[in-house]
Chains A and B, each alone.
Chain A
């Protein structure tokens, strides 16, 4: 079998990270193991960008991240963590540490969920789970901690 390498590589990546079907001839168990390993690696990378979010979830972090990220290609660690934090906030499942981290990020950067986040030039504020953060001239301060 030969053919279009580009198409076959795209189908393989889609199967591994975007919920695509297992391409013909591949070992489904081996691909599933590879997909799970990718999620573990990604969870570690996102935790480095969102240390408080990950710490707030503690032992639940790997499974929480993997559930959210399965079938969802990465937008980069910063955006992955941001999207997950907003998703948890909307479902009332964001831990206080994660709420404070999200509030601080919302105060410093503008992020519409589609394009990469951009630093706010003007003073801004963010809130999540009762936490309120304000930012002026690039310095961010937590005005009120999250509900605990």
Chain B
């Protein structure tokens, strides 16, 4: 099984027919928690596997950034799903999703502190010890920062990647969202990240609500995110790009145009 390559799309049941009809597709991602570890995978996903399409399970509920040790059952599930779809790697987030027995319902940012770096590195090490394939870590979009950050974002991420040996799943929409909401330049972060560690890149849409840019995955990819993708590719083109669209799915021609825009921005072959 080869690593992610070219332009891919997040496989979701709602768009399974659309994804099945993409002739040049070589790479999809699937939300790991949406699959049963015992299988079988959904028919649409199994058909893609038979075509040789690489499938990467993307975890959203491990809570690798939680202060408490990661749940071994959740890691075992991620590993089982990776084997089920013959994945070359899995991905998860540098974030926490629950604390004190309460589910937050989404990815929350860590303080950029030494204590948090230690916590996330310990959990990544626990996961790596139990997973059958490498893991790529994704920095998230956050609407707020903790008040006591000791490290800036680039140092925080680089330290975690160096200590864990994990790959980087870079989300240019998250980079854009964070920079815009903090009023800083997103390109400056690109220049300080270890781009040689990127295994693939997420691209997603978002929208403005109440003065904040929200990384919704349910809106079109805005032009500044494509601009940032071009900036990234000009520095070092990643092996693969993946369009994430989780809801309010547009008509097929609109989704095809978004995939084509990713191909145009990166120079990868069109998959539509």
Contacts and interface: CB of A to CB of B under 8 A. Distances in A.
Interface string A2-29: 1111111111111011100000111100
Contact of B106 (A14, A30, A37, A73): A37
Contacts of B164: none
Contacts of B98: 13
Nearest to A80: B105
Interface stretch (A38-46, A84-92, A100-108, A124-132): A38-46
Contacts of B103: 13, 17, 73-74
Contacts of A2: 113-115, 148
Interface in B140-195: 142-148
A38 B105 contact: yes
A13 B68 CA distance: 14
A17 B102 contact: yes
Interface in B57-113: 66-68, 96, 98-100, 102-106, 108, 111, 113
A1 B148 contact: yes
Contacts of A10: 99-100, 102
Contacts of A136: none
Q: For this complex, into which size category does the number of interface residues on chain B fall?
A: 20 to 34
Given A6-B67, A26-B147, A73 B113 contact: no
Contacts of A16: 104, 108
Interface string B207-228: 0011110100010000000000
A17 B212 CA distance: 19
Contact of A34 (B99, B114, B119, B144): B144
Size category of the binding interface on chain A:
20 to 34
B267 interface: no
A17 B105 contact: yes
A8 B115 CA distance: 12
Given A24-B147, A30-B144, A37 B99 contact: no
Contacts of A17: 102-105
Nearest to B96: A9
Contacts of A140: none
B116 interface: yes
A5 B144 contact: no
Contact of B99 (A6, A27, A44): A6
Contacts of B143: 30-31, 33-34, 37
26 contacts: A1-B148, A2-B114, A5-B113, A5-B116, A9-B100, A9-B108, A13-B99, A14-B100, A16-B104, A16-B108, A17-B102, A17-B105, A24-B147, A26-B146, A27-B145, A33-B143, A33-B210, A36-B209, A37-B209, A38-B104, A38-B105, A41-B105, A41-B106, A42-B105, A44-B218, A73-B103
Given A12-B108, A31-B143, A34-B143, 17 more contacts: A1-B148, A5-B111, A5-B115, A8-B111, A9-B66, A9-B99, A9-B100, A11-B100, A18-B102, A31-B144, A33-B211, A33-B212, A36-B210, A37-B106, A37-B209, A38-B106, A74-B105
